[in-house]
Structures are given as structure tokens and as C-alpha cells.
Amino acid sequence: MREIDRSYKHHISLPFSLSQPTTVTNAIVPLQPQQENIVGDWERLVAQAQRINQMAAELEATILELKAIASKLNSQRSCLQGNGKAYKSICKYLTVSVPWVRQKPDESFVLTTRKVDLFRAEREAALLAQKLRQQTKTKRLASQRHRKNKNTVDTDTTGFF
């Protein structure tokens, strides 16, 4: 059998300064965040909130584009069928939200969601069409009144000559 080396019995020599006890006169100073770190982190927080909102806006635009494509396909399918039968829509829409970061008056942030209005374009188009119809009707009535007044003036003036 082999004998185990007895190196553990040797003394370890330490430098003189480490072997003498020293007294500590100062307590450990707690870590204080430096002002520039706070400012830098605040700027990163604001930038991240803006990035989330930008991505949410892009996602909303992409969702609305998906809806526009589906609507176009639905109308093309309807034209191709041409038999007057009702067809099933190619896409179904449920309530959709995107993440959104808002900043409160006290400058704190709230991570929440914002509803995507999938049918705003249709409502706006219907409202615009209604306004245009109303304007056309008003112009037509004004034109008719003008012609009526002109005819009345013409008949009144012809009696004097």
C-alpha cells in the first residue's frame, strides 16, 4: 500500500500583516445609486415604454391590414359566386387589444392594454357617405330654389316691358 502524503501537517506561513489583527474604524458604506445611473435608467425606461407603444401601433396596423385583406377576399368570393347565396365570411373578428404603456401625471408608468377598433373604418366611411348625401341634397335643394327664384324674377320683370 501506498502511504498518503502528510503535507497537511506543514504550517502555512502568512505575511506578517495578515497574521496581526486589525481594528476596523469605519462601517461598511451602503451602496448608493449614482445620479447618472438613475438618469440613464430612467431614460431607458421611457425609451422602452415608447418602444412598446410603437410596436403596439405597428401590430394594430397589421391587424387592420389583415382585416382589409379578408374583406377584399370576401367581396371577390361574392362576385365569383354570383348566385345570390349568402357565403360564410373568411374571417371572424373578436375583441382585440394590444399592450400599451401610459404615463400617469405623477410620472409613474402603467402597463395596460388598449382595444383595437376593428370597425372604425366602416363607421367613418358610413358617416362620410351620410355627410356627402346630405351635402348633395342641400345643394340640390338650393339649386332648385335658385332656379325657382330666377324664374319668378324673370316672369316679374317681363311684365314691366
Q: State mean pLDDT over 148-152.
A: 71
The boundaries of the domain holding residue 113 are 35-117
- Residue 22 falls inside a structural domain: no
pLDDT of residue 44: 95
Which band of pLDDT confidence, cut at 50, 70 and 90, is reported for residue 20? low
- Residue 19 falls inside a structural domain: no
pLDDT digits (tens, 9 = 90+) for 49-68: 999 999 999 999 999 999 99
**Is there a single domain that holds both residue 107 and residue 39?**
yes
The model carries a pTM of: 0.58
Total domains in the fold of the chain: 2
**Is there a single domain that holds both residue 109 and residue 69?**
yes
Distance CA 117, CA 95 (A): 8
- Residue 87 falls inside a structural domain: yes
Which residues, other chains included, contact 109 with Cβ-Cβ below 8 Å and sequence gap of 6+? 45, 49, 101, 102, 103
pLDDT digits (tens, 9 = 90+) for 116-142: 999 888 889 999 999 999 988 887 877
**Is there a single domain that holds both residue 110 and residue 138?**
no
SS3 110: strand
